[in-house]
């Protein structure tokens, strides 16, 4: 039988716990805030999308004006790793 710690990490059961897996997507940070994974502000993500570096995913119900913008984790990670390679 699994212990409580295994269940917590497997299911994200408790609030304020660290997740050991990376997400496929995460939400665009609110204005004035930074994302919890890379520490980048929302403006940076819009600039990266405009440059064609990453592709943001927008979810919106038909007829709604507002929706949710998601950021692909792997694309941002690839971009940041590329910056590290250029610096060498």
* pLDDT lower than 70: segments of the chain: 1-20, 88
Beta bridge partners of 27: 70
Whole-Å CA distances, 51 to 48, 55, 79: 5, 10, 12
Q: Please tell me the pTM assigned to this model.
A: 0.72
The pLDDT assigned to 78 comes to 94
Give the E-state strand segments of the chain in sequence order. Answer: 25-27, 57-59, 68-72
The pLDDT assigned to 6 comes to 46
The pLDDT assigned to 15 comes to 54
């Amino acid at each position: 039988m699994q212990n409580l710690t295994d269940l917590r990490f497997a299911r994200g059961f408790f609030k304020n716990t660290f997740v050991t897996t990376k997400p496929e997507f995460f939400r665009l940070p609110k204005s004035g805030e930074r994302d919890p994974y890379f520490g980048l502000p929302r403006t940076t993500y819009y600039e990266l999308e405009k440059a064609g570096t990453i592709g943001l995913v927008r979810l919106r119900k038909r007829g709604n004006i507002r929706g949710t913008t998601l950021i692909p984790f792997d694309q941002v990670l690839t971009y940041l790793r590329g910056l590290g390679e250029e610096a060498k």
